[in-house]
Each structure stands twice: as C-alpha cells, then as structure tokens.
Amino acid sequence: RKDPLSQWAFHQRSKQGLAALTEDQKAALDALGFIWDPKEDEFNRQWEGRFAQLVAYKEKHGTTIVPVKEETGLGRWASTQRDAHTLYVKKKSGQLQKDIESGKTKPPKKCRIMTEEHYQKLKSINFVFSIYQPGGGWDSKYEELKEYRAQYGDCKVPQHWKKNKGLGKFVARQRYLYCLWEQGKFDNNPLTQERIGKLNSLGFHWGSFRPNTWKDPQTEEAKRKVEEARAQPNNRKASL
C-alpha cells in the first residue's frame, strides 16, 4: 500500500490535471519543487545524463557525430535526437499537425518531440541536427559519406537507403563509374584518380558492379558498351 504522503501527492497531480488546484496552491507546490509528472522528470534526468556524455565525447573527439555502434549507446541516443528534432521542426511549422489530420502520420508520443530547452542545449554545443543534406555536388556527397562511415564504420551505403537516398545512389554511381574507368573509359568520366584516391582513403568498397542494378539515362550508352566489352572472351576474367 502507498503511504499517505504518496497518495496525497498522487491526488494533487490528478487535481492539477483537472485544473482543480488554485493558482496559489500550484505556486506553493512549485516553490517546493513538486514533480508534476514523474515519468517526464525521469526522462529529463536520463536526457541530461546523455547530454553530459555527449559534451564529453565532443571534447575528446571534436564532433557530435557519434558512431551508432558506439558501445555505450550514445550514438543511438544522438540519432534519436535528430529524429526528435525533425518532429520539433515540423511541430513549430505546423506541418506535423497537418500530417496528423491528413492521416499521413500518427500522433507521436510527447517524449519523441524535442523540447525547446533540449533544442537550445544541443544547439549550444553545435550539435549536428541533420547529417544528410539534399542535393550538393561530389565533394558534398563525399563529406556525407565520411559522416556515414563515422557512424556505421564502413562505406557500404544501401542503394535505396531511406535516410538518405541520394547518398546510396552516389555510392552506387561511383562503383559504376569505376567499372568504366577499369575499362579505360576516361573521357568525360567524372571519377578522376584524385577522387578514387579520396574514396580509397575511406576504405571504400568498390565491389563487383552489376550493370543491371544501375539505371542512369545519361550513361545507358556507356553501360551498353561495358556489357559488350565484358561479353568478349578475352574480358571474361575481368568481369568475374
């Protein structure tokens, strides 16, 4: 059984939810540091603990991009903050409510939306809220790939990766262009030796390119020539 004080506190929370407490009563309880929502209070305490870990991580490594596989779970926590920030932005713009009303998305739990206080704290340490940006040239995608590697430990981005479809396509295209490069197709090939070197420095996995996995209208003719070259008896070994 709950002790009388716990029952009284529970009753005050119920009254507060029903707006039955007077302003003076609320102020008196606030002055005592009364916890109106124990679950939210526990969530905030855990959040502050993780934030302190993130600050320490940045001081040591110089970045807030933490590998997802980081054994303390800090990387997964940082990733959830980016998701929470996305909801925070949508809520502020009114887009979240529109998506809920249209049935496009379900109402998220309160704890999944970043609070203004948490946003300001993360902003104060230059937290990277959005790793992947739409568009951008080769160098921009290369930087995104570096960040992906920092998080996941390799450069094997799925071609249809939902978090950043553009990065998956970029990686697939580099493998395709490298296939052309190996065939001596240097003319108008944007994959220069310098870029190959930069990708190699990341441990880029060139793999075995399969022509039928890449659809690029601008390079269909070049792809056809590669397939024809591989069909020649003296090139079969290179295609394995």
Query: How is the chain split into domains, by residue range?
Result: 22-125, 138-222
Cβ–Cβ < 8 Å for 133, 140: yes
Q: What is the mean pLDDT of the chain?
A: 78
Per-residue pLDDT of 43-73, as tens digits, reads 788 899 999 999 999 998 888 888 877 768 9
Report yes or no: 129 and 87 within 8 Å, Cβ to Cβ.
no
- Residue 174 makes CB contacts below 8 A (sequence gap 6+) with 191, 195, 199, 204
Mean pLDDT within 4-12: 70
pLDDT in tens, 140-182: 788 889 888 988 899 999 988 888 888 888 999 899 889 888 8
Predicted TM-score (pTM) of this structure: 0.51
User: Is residue 225 within 8 Å of 234, Cβ to Cβ?
Assistant: no
Report how far residue 176's alpha carbon sits from residue 220's, in angstroms, rounded to the nearest whole number.
11
Residue 19's φ and ψ, nearest 5 degrees, are: 60, 35
